[in-house]
Amino acid sequence: MQECKGICDKYKADIPPQSTGLSKFAVGIYKCQVCKCDLTVNGVKFTKRFLCRCCSSPIRTKPRNNKKNYRESLNRVMEILRDG
């Protein structure tokens, strides 16, 4: 069984406020269900799958539900980046 080794504390991410309407997944924040924390890109190993650097478990890169809201949020992020 995989368990948290505490390495993920260095890679914890600040979640965007709800008022912005942006999904944390759309702005590049990932969720490790074993460590129970939100990780920045630096806390993720990119192999064939996305893995947590701390416990090497697969991490979520998309929400489990509300895929429509995720797409809308992703489009909002792209507009913000495009407008600069």
| Tens-digit pLDDT string for the chain (84 aa) | 588 888 888 888 888 777 677 778 778 888 888 988 888 888 888 888 889 988 989 888 877 776 667 677 777 777 877 886
SS3 label, residue 20: helix
Asked whether residue 67 is domain-assigned, the answer is yes
Give me the number of domains the chain comprises.
Answer: 1
Asked whether residue 17 is domain-assigned, the answer is yes
Asked whether residue 1 is domain-assigned, the answer is no
CB 59 within 8 A of CB 44: yes
The boundaries of the domain holding residue 36 are 7-83
* DSSP-assigned beta bridge partners for residue 39: 12, 30
Asked whether residue 62 is domain-assigned, the answer is yes
* Report field, pTM of the whole predicted structure over 0.85: no
Please state, in angstroms and rounded to a whole number, the distance separating the CA atoms of residues 47 and 78: 25
Asked whether residue 2 is domain-assigned, the answer is no
Asked whether residue 49 is domain-assigned, the answer is yes
Sign, Cα dihedral of 22, 23, 26, 30: positive
